[in-house]
């Protein structure tokens, strides 16, 4: 990911600009003032470009970490959800074995089947029997439909999914922050270009115009950097 302008490159541009101005322009008072102003703009661009590149890199790293956490958390959530599905499937199988024994009027087989119930399922099973399901038409369809039937895996999976969504949104925002800093760096690069070529114009009005445009863009860039979210620690 682009990290901004290199301070070394800006320093080189500053040195080249100074040399060019000294070679091609008479150093009267106005020219010296303009040259100093151009040098100040280039120096400010160097500092801001370094900061913008640093902030962009930090936000880019943060985005990668958050998106990686989102992916890892989602994987755990899927695994926990699968474990919950397998648990519910086991409960259904043991209940079906009990029901088959009940339909066959085999009390001994019913007892054996009940011994295979998980403790958590056994609570829901007993609560379901208390509703008199064989004569009560409004009774729940089975133990898994009872409020006593709780699957910790489902709750954990839902919580992990929510956490993964939060990580993903944070990663998206961090990526957007990084892109915004890169955009500001592009503005600073345009300032570097305008001020850099201004010294190549012998006409003072042209130099002043380019420096003025660069100053406006630089001011806009400074405002963007002020309002932009600061990079994570």
Do the domain assignments include residue 194? yes
Q: Residues 113-130: pLDDT tens digits?
A: 999 999 999 999 999 999
> Which parts of 36-175 are beta strand (E)?
none
Do the domain assignments include residue 2? no
Do the domain assignments include residue 103? yes
Do the domain assignments include residue 233? no
Mean pLDDT for the stretch of residues 85-96: 94
Rounded distance, CA 35 to CA 227, Å? 30
Per-residue pLDDT at 20 exceeds 50: yes
Q: What is the pLDDT of residue 16?
A: 60
Q: DSSP per residue over 82-119, as a string? A: HHHHHHHHHHHHHHHHHHHHHHTT-HHHHHHHHHTS-H
Three-class SS of the chain: CCCCCCHHHHHHHHHHHHHHHHHHCCCCHHHHHHHHHHHHHHHHHHHHHHHHHHHHHHHHHHHHHHHHHHHHHHHHHHHHHHHHHHHHHHHHHHHHHHHHHHHCCCHHHHHHHHHCCCHHHHHHHHHHHCCCCCCCCCCCCCHHHCCCCCCHHHHHHHHHHHHHHHHHHHHHHHHHHHHHHHHHHHHHHHHHHHHHHHCCCCCHHHHHHHHHHHHHHHHHHHHHHHHCCCCCC
Q: What is the pLDDT of residue 18?
A: 52
Do the domain assignments include residue 1? no
Q: What is the pLDDT of residue 1?
A: 42
Domain with 89 in it:
7-227
Q: Residues 1-19: pLDDT tens digits?
A: 444 555 555 555 555 655 5
pTM score, whole prediction: 0.71
Rounded distance, CA 210 to CA 194, Å? 6
Overall domain count for the chain: 1
Do the domain assignments include residue 17? yes
Do the domain assignments include residue 196? yes
């Amino acid at each position: 990911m682009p990290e901004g302008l290199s301070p070394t490159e800006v320093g080189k541009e500053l040195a080249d600009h100074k040399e060019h101005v000294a070679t091609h322009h008479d150093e009267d008072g106005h020219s010296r003032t303009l040259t100093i102003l151009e040098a100040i703009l280039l120096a400010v661009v160097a500092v801001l470009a370094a900061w913008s590149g640093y902030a962009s890199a930090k936000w880019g790293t943060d985005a990668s970490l958050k998106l990686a956490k989102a992916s890892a958390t989602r994987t755990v959530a899927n695994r926990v959800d699968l474990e919950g599905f397998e648990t519910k499937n086991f409960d259904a199988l043991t209940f079906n074995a009990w029901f088959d024994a009940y339909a066959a009027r085999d009390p001994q087989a019913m007892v054996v089947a009940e011994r295979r119930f998980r403790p958590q399922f056994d609570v829901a099973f007993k609560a379901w029997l208390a509703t008199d399901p064989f004569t009560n038409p409004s009774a729940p369809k089975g133990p898994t439909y009872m409020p006593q039937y709780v699957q910790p895996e489902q709750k954990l999976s839902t919580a992990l999914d929510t956490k993964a969504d939060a990580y993903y949104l944070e990663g998206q925002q961090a990526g957007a922050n990084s892109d915004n800093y890169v955009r500001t760096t592009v503005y600073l690069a345009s300032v570097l270009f305008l001020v850099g070529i201004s010294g190549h114009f012998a006409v003072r009005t042209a130099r002043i115009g380019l420096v003025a445009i660069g100053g406006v863009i630089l001011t806009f860039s400074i405002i963007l950097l002020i309002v932009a979210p600061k990079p994570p620690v």
